[in-house]
Amino acid sequence: MLPVRYLLLAVLAGTLAGCAGLRQSLQNQPCALDPAEPYTVVEVDPARHRLELFWKDASGQPYRTLGAVRAAVEARGDSLVAATNAGIYEPGYVPTGLFVQRGAVQTPLNLQDGEGNFYLKPNGVFFVAEEGTAGIVESGAFAQRTGPVWLATQSGPLLLSGGQLHPAFTPGSENCRLRSGVGVGGDGRVFLAISNGAVNFHDFAVFFRDALGVRDALYLDGAISALYAPASGRYEEGREGYAGVLAVVARREPGDP
């Protein structure tokens, strides 16, 4: 098992055209992870915190940075425990596919075919139901799901589905880069993970399955991914260029979803 430092919490639980040059410069790196800490993981559990999605501020402008989301959370009197970019997006900082924020659908489910990681099917949806249960399901299956959700973000590819790796993943692939993802364990725990170095899809999925004991996991993003997690010494607030942000917020009311 790879060594990993966990950020242990009791927590509930893009492709941007303007950044194409940055993405190209950060992709196709040699496969190499930090041997001391190959991944940073945030373990999310429903007892003391909640998950939220952020996209636009009160003026209708995308937050674009993790720091801007932190400032917004603190301005309302809450505490941000952790945050990461929530998935792939289109030019203009528009989430690609489904984006549900506080129970309201902001962008619709996308079942189309296309190019790029989002369309490497099966892709999927990470969601938290209104009663607080988290899950990851294949996008077509989510379209058949009934019942309200508190938040949802669609991305792709699925890393794991029922413990099975995505069929397109190849052991020893040289398609390596920084990667971030979210996983849901059989007991409902949620894990946010980011690689410390470049890793291929196969090894990233195996990490979720074997090291974290996760059966369902979803890729969030690659080269521009960042993580704000002060308990792990990570303060990656300033990188600009995100649409959705997945945030872990300290819970104030026991009944919060």
Summarize the confidence of residues 63-68 as an average pLDDT: 95
Report residue 28's pLDDT band, with 50, 70 and 90 as the boundaries: low
**pTM of the entire structure?**
0.88
What is 164-203 written as a DSSP string? Answer: EEPTT--TT----B--EEEEEETTS-EEEEEESEEB-HHH
Summarize the confidence of residues 83-98 as an average pLDDT: 94
For residue 2, how many other CB atoms are within 10 A of its CB?
13
pLDDT at 256: 57
pLDDT tens digits for 42-57? 998 777 778 999 999 9
pLDDT at 127: 97
Place of tokens 């009934």: 146
Alpha-carbon gap, residue 154 to 53, rounded angstroms: 12
pLDDT at 27: 54
pLDDT at 10: 34
pLDDT tens digits for 201-221? 999 999 999 999 999 999 999
